[in-house]
Amino acid sequence: MKYPNRIFGADAAPYTSHNTQQFPLGQVMELPNGKIFRYALMGGTVGVANKLYQAVTGAGAWDSLAVVTCALGASTISLTNGGTAITENNFAEGSVVEETAAGLGHCYPVKSNTAAGAATCVFTLADGVVVQNALTAGVHTMTVEPNPWNGIVITTAAAASQTAMIVGVPLVVIAVAGYGWVQTHGVCSCVVDAAAAATPADKLRPSEDDAGGVALMKCDEAATADAGEIAWNMFTTPDQDFGHVFLMIE
C-alpha cells in the first residue's frame, strides 16, 4: 500500500497514538495552520509530552560495512555485518549510504533487511530504487542508518554535544514501543531551560542542561551553539516551565 507523500490532517490528529504502526515512519502530516508532524516509533522509555526528542544514538557498529559485489541496477545490497547483530527489518525505512569516495556517496532508502549476526545482511531497497553505480567488494564500504523517527528518545542533557539529530516534540504521551506524531514545524509548546533568559524573537537550540528542553541560542557561545538553532522563541518563559516556541526543525 502506498501512502500519500504528505497527509493533510485534522487539528485533532496529532493527539492520537497507536499500539500498532499505522503509517510509514517519518510520514509527513501537515495541519490547516501549517504545523508539520512526523510519524514516529517511541523507544524504550515511555514518552513525555511537550519535550524535545531526538533520534536513537547511532551505535557505530553499522558504519563502514564491507559490501558484497553488487551490479549497477540491483535492487538489493549485501553487506558483511560486524559484531553487533542486526534484527530483521531494523533498518526498514532507514537508509544505506555509499561511504567511500569512489562510490560517489549515493544514499538509498531501505525497504527491508534480513537478520544477521557476523555474516551477510541483505538490504532490499525501496520499490523502484536501484543501485546507481556498481559496488565492488574490497573497494566500497557502506554505512546503514535507521529512520530518524525509529525508536526516538528524549534529548540528552549533554554539555559537550548532542548525540543524534533532533526529530520533534510529541503533543501527548506515546507509550513504550508505541507510535505517534511528533511536531517539527510551527507554534508548539516545549519546556524551556531559561538559565539564560530568552526573549521573544531569540533563536533556540537544544538545552545542554535539561533533557527535553530548549535553550537560548547564543551564537558566540563555544560548543553549545554548535547544536544549531531549532526554533524561534515566542515568549519569555520562566525557567523549567513550558513556553510557546515556533519550531523549525524542518
Partner 1 sequence: MNFAHVIQGSDGDQYGDQVTALYPIGQKMVLPDGRVFRYATVAGAAGVANKLYQSSAAVANWNTQTVAVTACAIGDSTLQMTDGGTAITNADEGSVLFEDVLGLGHIYFVDRQQPTSAAENPLFFKPGVVAQFAAATPVLTFIKNPWQDIIITPGTALTAIPCGVPPSIIAQSDWGWVQTMGVCSCLLEGTPIIGECVRASEGTGGAVTVQDYTEANHADAGTLGRCIEVAPNGDFGLIYLRME
* CB nearer to partner 1: pick between 101 and 219: 219
Out of 130, 200, 209, 223, which residue is the one contacting partner 1 (CB under 8 A)?
200
Quote the cell numbers at residue 61. Answer: 557498529
Q: Which of 18, 23, 30, 163 binds partner 1 (CB under 8 A)?
A: 30
Identify which of residues 16 and 163 has a Cβ nearer to partner 1 in the complex: 16
Instruction: Give the closest residue to 69 by CA, choosing from 32, 117, 26, 103.
Output: 103
d(CA 73, CA 171): 42
- Closer to partner 1 at the Cβ: 13 or 129? 13
* Residue 185 interacting with partner 1 (CB under 8 A): yes
Interface residue with partner 1, options 21, 22, 84, 240 (CB under 8 A): 240
Q: What are phi and psi of 12, to 5 degrees?
A: -80, -15
Rounded Cα gap, residues 12 and 89, in angstroms: 31
Q: What are φ and ψ of residue 15, in 5° steps?
A: -85, 0
Distance CA(126)–CA(24), nearest Å, equals 12
Work out how close the CB of 142 gets to partner 1 at its nearest, in angstroms, rounded to a whole number. 32
Task: Report the C-alpha gap between 108 and 20 in whole angstroms.
Answer: 26
Looking only at residues 44 through 73 of this chain, which bind partner 1 when binding is defined by CB under 8 A? 49-51
For partner 1, the binding residues (CB under 8 A) are: 8, 10-12, 15, 30-34, 49-51, 171-172, 185-191, 199-203, 216-220, 225, 229, 232-235, 237-238, 240-244, 246, 248
